[in-house]
A and B are shown apart, each in its own frame.
Chain A
């Protein structure tokens, strides 16, 4: 239900209002820099405690961090590559598929936030 009415943030639920800062200019940056800081901190933490490990490779400083980062990057890039071969139109299997049909309205309860 794309809303044509002008937004009225005052009527959003309190919790929703409290989170509106993420959309303000610089809001996203705040989150991103916090993430960078946490990541840096966690990387450094690896040098500060005695690691109990099963495998030699786990002792490599920042192993989990690097593994997580690079594997995820690889995952996304591979998946993006798969799209080249696998992506089809939404109506590919229609009509024997739910992908292209709207969800039956009578089973829904679409209500606007200020209704």
Chain B
């Protein structure tokens, strides 16, 4: 599609991959609305997401050696034009987002049938694709303002998607509204921060901003910009204590939306944080060092414990997972706050591993909601025997969430502990281990409900359909696979971390 818009040079389709990455779902979204038939909406969504997935694989394979692809939108040279820039870090995020989206779409059909009213289906998938293209756009673009635009596209679509949960529970509307207010404030802070940067540097291209900042050093405008960006993105990341939109949004959204958001949305926000903290600003600045050390680090540790504690006391599986997500984001932020190669690698790997883990678990929740009509512990008690495959997926996902050796979760926690020890942060390493014990407790509670409690009399619950089990198990097996074969994730994450730590020079 984009080949038609670019005439001035003879580029092959392969050279347009960065544009295709975003444009395919972006154009498919209105197509669904134009056709307006709900039967065709899902296939189109799936096809475009799968295309985006294929594109992201190609992109990652090109940059995994550390090289960088720079694509000029419409042929306009940066800094005037918008630049798409793919390196190992965002190619990795692109892969995660498009892969999870495809997986979740495979899963979605039955789940959406059950949870979203039929007349909204076409619009629902359309909003979903907009959300997807927004997230992909955030990850791929090299233009600071463009990040904001895509962030808003994905956010607006997200509000719509969450509100679709109102078919099942009217509180979805309030949750969505709540997130809308919060998200808008966050986005506003972010755009204010970018405004400060523009004021200080006169450019919006990230590489350019980075250059100028490193030339002129820090000043008050840049510092203020940094503070606004960190807090604004921190809200999108659900950094503790800016997390409180997340549990409600995840709990009341339709299951497939939750699975998708949990696996991707906060992860993309973290990517933005990484991009700004490490590439646009120079981590060598003292103010940045202090922000990470005195604000992000303690908040990350508080999140690890506080959110996990709350998760322990939940009585709804879905809500428990939502709080667990807040805690897991704490681990990722902790890795970032360590400001070291290993720490950053740990953060990026955990970003990926936690994505697939939560995808598997939330898909299981979707299966429970479909068959048992709810995800409260008393809805799902004793289902271990009636839904053996779904429950077994919960076991695998749960183990990965705890970080049991042999699962993906272990790899990232191990790296995190290693990074903490490398920095000589003994207490932090111990805290990581200690907080994992909390994960043991909240996962154990679910397993106990599933396997050790009796099924209520007269229950007629059946195993979920194959179309849900297959993607769920792909994600669950991925948890195991990436726990055993760590080559792909570790190489990609290490390259990404290296690129990020190289600071603004990494953009050259």
- A–B direct touch in complex (beta carbons closer than 8 A): no
Q: Residues of A with Cβ closer than 8 Å to B?
A: none
Q: Residues of B with Cβ closer than 8 Å to A?
A: none
